[in-house]
Amino acid sequence: MKIVGYFEGTDSGVLTKIVASGFCTLPLANEWDGHGKNASHIEPGQIDLIIGYLHKLLPPLGTCEDENAKAAPMGVDIHRGFRPIDLLYPAKAYNIPVLVVVPRDYHKEAKDLLGEAAEFATIVTPEDLEKKVREILEF
């Protein structure tokens, strides 16, 4: 049985359709919010598809001691410099499709923010998410 790993906030209607169609779902966590199984610890054969909104793949930036401080640049943060590629590396290594949900007007920015992960992740609009999931899972 195929298993869809999803980050918190993924459309519950799409997840319900996935389950009703005979697939399993598994909540995934990033390094900072602990919602489910840590995505960077996925082993081969555990997950067949990963879905998440862009913000779940990006660590919080900086350590702002005062309210006038600016966020630190990407990679210099309180989460050991985690980047999207660090979180999604098992997906790349095990050829697990990744759908990153982003409104159409922000696809370019999303690609830039994903960095190396943009090479294997697919950016999809919220409106097209269900269609893309059906294509990948073939239902």
By DSSP bridging, strand 49-53 and strand 24-29 are: unpaired
Paired tokens of 83:
């980047």
Q: Count Cβ atoms within 10 A of the Cβ of residue 40 and give its class: 0-12 exposed, 13-18 middle, 19 or more buried.
A: middle
Going residue by residue through the chain, which has 139 residues, state the pLDDT in tens, using 9 for 90 and above: 999 999 999 999 999 999 999 999 999 998 777 778 999 999 999 999 999 999 999 877 644 444 444 444 444 444 456 789 999 999 999 999 999 999 999 999 999 999 999 999 999 999 999 999 999 999 9
Task: Classify 122 as helix, strand or coil.
Answer: strand
CATH 3.40.50 fits 3-137, yes or no: yes
Distances (CA, A) of 18 to 31, 99, 139: 26, 14, 9
The reported pLDDT for the residue numbered 39 is: 94
Instruction: Tell me which residue has tokens 């999207």.
Output: 84
- What pLDDT, on a 0 to 100 scale, did the predictor assign at position 83? 87
pLDDT for position 76: 42
pLDDT of residue 32: 78
Sort 2 into a burial class: Cβ within 10 Å, 0-12 / 13-18 / 19+: middle
Which two tokens mark 73?
């640049």
Amino acid at 124: V
Q: What pLDDT shows up at residue 80?
A: 53
pTM confidence score: 0.86
